[in-house]
Structure 1
Amino acid sequence: MKKTTLLLLFFGLIVSAQNNRMIYEYKFRPDSTKIDSLKTEWIYLDINKNGSKYYSKKAFENDSIVNESIKKQMASGMRSISVSRQQSGSDISYEVEKTYPEYKTFLVSNIGNDSYKVLEDRKPNWKILSDKKQIGEFKVQKATANFAGRNWEAWFTTDVPIQDGPYKFSGLPGLIVEIADQTGSHKIELKGIKKIVEVQKEELNTEGKNIPYTKKKPLEVNRQQYVKQLKQYENDPVQGMREILSRPNSKVMINVNGKEISDPKDILRELEKNAKEEMVKNNNKIELIP
């Protein structure tokens, strides 16, 4: 009876004009050299009749706090905007958008202080197997695929008739309830479904101001162009900030772990140090081949 009620609720959500939120738990090991580096993030997959958006709950909340702080500083007439990005921020800064019914997939990601919207030109080549089991309230079936350098095992349910899932995964005859890579270092599992009211996104007008850590309108590029930018960033992770600081009358102050820094040389040195440390620690990304 409980399962029937849940499925009827979901069908009601799909038919309605409201947004529907799939709540996933994402467990991942960012550092392949450390078994104890396992982390957990709560990820939302928001679905409506036009498509879906996959993003980190924590990143969304942190961005809201930063934007509110900037908005107050701008309203008070402050000439210098101070941005604090603490280490308690999300490890998942990217978003994935899909458009229905063609399931065109885009990665929205930052490289340095720039944002990119990347059209994905690859699709998982699913092999649907006969294996079936129960996960929570759902009867699920197994499927496997290779995508972006990893072998994936997915469990999908035809109880929810929508061919979507977390991250860039879609194309199965039902919602993906669980998916994990063969190494066990990335696992995403559905934990809840809820209806949400669509809220109009407020755009922060920062025209004429170069403010680090704020979201900008992403530049649309293809995957090859994005990979080129990634390689440039790995070679020089502070190039974007260096360009900002070299502009006339440019003044930037950052807060790193409670320490305020305003000298351009110190900013570049601190940001480069942190960026390179993060690259070393995050050597086990969800895509081995971006």
Structure 2
Amino acid sequence: MKKLAALFLLLGLMVSAQNNRVIYEYKFRPDSTKTDSLKTEWMYLDINKNGSKYYSKKTFDNDSIINESIKKQMASGMKSISVSRQSFGGEVNGEVEKIYPEYKTYLIVNVGNDSYKVLEDRKPIWQISSAKKQLGTFSVQKATTDFAGRKWTAWFTTDVPVQDGPYKFSGLPGLIVEMSDQTGSHQMELKGIKKIPEIAPEELNTQGKDIPFTRKKPIEVNRKQYVKQLSQHENDPVQGMREILSRPNSKVMIKVNGKEISEPKEVLRELEKNAKEEMKRNNNKIELIP
């Protein structure tokens, strides 16, 4: 009876409310060469009548801290802005937006010092199995798909009338409760659903200053253009920063791993070193084929 009551409450929440947050636990192995590199990040899938947004809680919180710091520095009239790239920031920096009812899907992601909004031109083609099981209070059914170079297994529930799920996955006749790739490198599991208030997104006004590590209005591109930018960034990961530091009177102090640096050559050297080390460690991305 308790399970039934909980289910009716959940159905009422999803149907009557316009703003809901689905919470997923995302476990992933960024380095395929290290079996002990498994990490965990809490992800939000915020759903309203117009669509959904999937993003990292930790990255969102860290961005909010950075934005508040910048706003205070600008309000005080400081000429140079100090940006701290926190080591406790989220590992997942990209966001995924879906627009209902056609489920048009976008990836919003930073590449270097630019932000891109990439229209996804691939749709998961699902094979729905007859296999069913119980996951917590949910009755779920199995489905499989190949997407972006990985083979995926999803367990979805028709108990929740939302054809959505984590990351770019949607199109099943219900909400995705659990998802994992064939290698076990990427796993998402639903941990909760709650109603949230409608909050208008706030854009940071940098007053014309190009400040590193802040989210900018994304440039809309197709997937082919995005892959080109991604390749250029991998070949020269500090190109954007080099352009900023070459401008007259450009003087931004940056903290990297607790170390304050401001001399341009040292900034570039440190950032390039860190970027290349990060790319080497992050060799097992969710999309093997971007």
Query: Does TM, normalized by the shorter one, top 0.5?
Result: yes
Task: Tell me if 1:62 matches 2:62.
Answer: yes
User: Which stretch shifts more, 253-262 or 7-16?
Assistant: 7-16
Letter in 1 for 2:204: L
Give the conservation status (yes or no) of the 8 Å contact 1:127–1:144: yes
Post-superposition shift, 1:17? 4.6
Aligned-residue offset at 1:12: 2.4
Match of 2:232 in 1: 232
- Which residue in the other structure is 1:199 paired with? 199
Q: Which structure 1 residue ranges, 4+ long, deviate > 2 Å from structure 2?
A: 1-18
**Matched residue, 1:148:** 148
Q: Which amino acid aligns with 1:212?
A: P
Aligned partners of 1:67, 1:48: CA distance in 2, in Å?
25
Amino acid at match of 1:21: R
Task: Compute the displacement of 1:162 (Å).
Answer: 1.0
- Following superposition, the deviation at residue 13 of structure 1 comes to 2.4
Q: Which runs of 5+ in 2 are unaligned?
A: none
SS at match of 2:159: coil
1:275 aligns with 2:275: yes
Give the secondary-structure state (helix, strand or coil) at the position aligned to 1:210: coil
Where in structure 2 are the equivalents of 1:104-123 lying within 5 Å?
104-123=104-123
Aligned pairs (5 A) from 1:237-256: 237-256=237-256
- 1:29-83, Cα deviation, whole Å (9 max, x unpaired): 0000000000000000000100000000000100000000000000000010000
Q: CA deviation at 1:253?
A: 1.0
CA distance in 2, matches of 1:8, 1:234: 49
Offset from partner CA, 1:132-167 (integer Å, 9 cap, x none): 001111000000000000000000000011110000
Once residues 6 and 80 of structure 2 are traced to their aligned partners in structure 1, the CA distance between those partners, rounded to angstroms, is: 51
1:215 corresponds to:
215
C-alpha displacement of 1:8:
2.2
| SS of 1:71 mapped into structure 2 | helix
Q: Does structure 1 residue 265 correspond to structure 2 residue 265?
A: yes
Q: In the alignment, residue 15 of structure 2 is paired with which amino acid?
A: V
Give unmatched runs, 5+ long, in structure 1: none
In structure 2, C-alpha distance between the alignment counterparts of 1:3 and 1:45, rounded to whole Å? 23
For the structure 1 residues 137 and 17, does the alpha-carbon distance in structure 2 shift closer, same or farther, using more than 3 Å as the test? closer
What SS class does the counterpart of residue 36 from structure 2 fall into?
helix
Q: Secondary structure at the match of 1:54?
A: strand
CA contact (8 A) 2:11 2:159 kept: no
Q: Deviations over 1:200-232 (max 9, x none)?
A: 222211132011110000000000000000000
Counterpart code for 1:207: Q
Aligned to 1:15: 15
| Residues 60-118 of structure 1: CA deviation (Å, up to 9, x unaligned) | 10000000000000000001000001211110000000000000000000001100000
Distance 2:142 2:190 in 1: 15
Tell me how far apart the structure 1 counterparts of residues 234 and 243 of structure 2 sit (CA, whole Å). Answer: 16
Aligned length: 290
Distance 1:253 1:113 in 2: 16
Amino acid at match of 2:117: K
Matched residue, 1:78: 78
Equivalence for 1:36: 36
Q: SS in structure 2 opposite 1:36? A: coil
On the 8 A contact 1:51/1:98 being kept in 2, the answer is yes
Q: How many percent of aligned residue pairs carry the same amino acid? A: 79
Distance (Å, rounded) in 1 between the aligned partners of 2:200 and 2:287? 32
The one-letter amino acid paired with 1:197 is P
1:54 corresponds to which letter in structure 2? Answer: Y
| Equivalent AA in structure 2 for residue 240 of structure 1 | G
Contact 2:14 2:160 in 1 (8 A): no
Aligned-pair distance for 1:18?
3.7
CA distance in 2 between counterparts of 1:161 and 1:103 reads 15
Q: Do the aligned partners of 1:66 and 1:83 also contact (CA within 8 Å) in 2?
A: yes
Letter in structure 2 aligned against 1:230: L
* TM-score, structure 1 normalization: 0.98
Q: Is the 8 A contact 1:14 1:48 kept in 2?
A: no
Per-residue deviation at 1:11?
2.7
